[in-house]
Chains A and B, each alone.
Chain A
Amino acid sequence: GAVVSQHPSWVICKSGTSVKIECRSLDFQATTMFWYRQFPKQSLMLMATSNEGSKATYEQGVEKDKFLINHASLTLSTLTVTSAHPEDSSFYICSPQEETQYFGPGTRLLVL
């Protein structure tokens, strides 16, 4: 299966700071990456779709100015949570469009 890595695996930050999460495809080129979010005891929900070289598309209810996505190369997509607040605490997971059955290991964000 596809190998996808995420960094960091977990992060704790103070309210108001920004956090960048990296998602890398290690053995293939990903023109599109899906970003999911999973709150405790909830299912994975699609947040946004990043596209290499163009703007990301966001699902309804997800603030594009708060969750900045950059897909600068075919192997790297980043999600930046700007001015994070406690309600942004969640598990963020990426999945390449070309191999949508496979997911990165996830990044757990805790905002204090």
Chain B
Amino acid sequence: QKEVEQDPGPLSVPEGAIVSLNCTYSNSAFQYFMWYRQYSRKGPELLMYTYSSGNKEDGRFTAQVDKSSKYISLFIRDSQPSDSATYLCAMSRYSGNTPLVFGKGTRLSVIA
């Protein structure tokens, strides 16, 4: 079993839809959880950074972490064509100073 599992998609939604992206993980030691957006041929861009269980909201984006289920989610409200990208989840045991473990990424297309 891989440490982090993420459905690669592709996921196609109409503009304005709510998008739900998810990852599961096996290592209960992970405490820091991140979501990245990656456009084609570009480096990953940090979207959300959360610690332990709970929710965090930033504009149209909401990140949820359920450590008891080892499950994290990213919700995108009012999705836009510009949100079309690959979304990667990542996690680590410690804050900074340690490399991240990534999911495979989910490719999202938002259709106008």
Contact = CB atoms under 8 A, between A and B. Distances in A.
A43 B49 contact: no
A8 interface: no
Interface in A25-69: 32, 34, 36, 41-46, 49
Contact of B88 (A44, A102, A108): A44
B38 to A, nearest CB: 9
B97 interface: yes
B43 A105 contact: yes
Contacts of A36: 99
A1 to B, nearest CB: 7
A99 interface: yes
Interface of B: 4, 6, 8, 34, 41-44, 46, 49, 88, 90, 92, 96-100, 102-105
23 contacts: A6-B43, A42-B104, A43-B6, A43-B104, A44-B44, A44-B88, A44-B100, A45-B102, A46-B99, A93-B43, A95-B100, A97-B97, A99-B96, A100-B97, A100-B99, A100-B100, A101-B34, A101-B46, A101-B96, A101-B100, A102-B46, A103-B43, A105-B42
